[in-house]
């Protein structure tokens, strides 16, 4: 017997249960299918200014909050440039440019 051919068909609800649920205003809860729905991106995942780490400067040479922010921006920019350069290098675009010169 294969497990793949097993199905479940929910029986119809008896009339007395339908009437009782209607009288008390019962609403069906979530089903297995509603729990699998894609909810999309959460609104509270972005970091706000008050959720940033606290910067403590203990000694000379430690980064201040402004220096850390500039360094983070520089790393993001360099990372994007590095990614772009690696894509160009792997695509053979540079070879096309050198051949046309």
pLDDT at 89: 61
Query: What is the per-residue pLDDT across 13-56, written as a single tens digit (0 to 9) for each?
Result: 999 999 999 999 998 888 888 878 887 777 766 666 677 777 77
| Contact yes or no for 55/68 (Cβ under 8 A) | yes
pLDDT at 31: 82
The pTM is what?
Answer: 0.34
Q: Answer yes or no: is pLDDT of 98 > 60.
A: no
pLDDT at 95: 47
Candidates 100, 82, 99, 101; CA nearest to 90 is 82
pLDDT at 7: 85
Query: What is the per-residue pLDDT across 51-93, written as a single tens digit (0 to 9) for each?
Result: 777 777 788 888 788 887 888 888 888 877 776 666 556 655 4
């Amino acid at each position: 017997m294969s497990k793949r051919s097993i199905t479940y068909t929910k029986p119809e609800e008896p009339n007395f249960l339908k009437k009782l649920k209607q009288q008390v205003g019962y609403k069906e809860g979530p089903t297995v299918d509603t729990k699998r729905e894609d909810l999309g991106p959460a609104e509270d995942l972005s970091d706000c200014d008050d959720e940033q780490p606290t910067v403590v400067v203990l000694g000379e040479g430690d980064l201040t909050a402004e220096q850390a922010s500039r360094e983070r921006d520089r790393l993001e920019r360099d990372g994007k440039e590095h990614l772009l350069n690696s894509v160009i290098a792997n695509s053979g675009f540079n070879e096309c440019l050198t051949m046309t010169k």
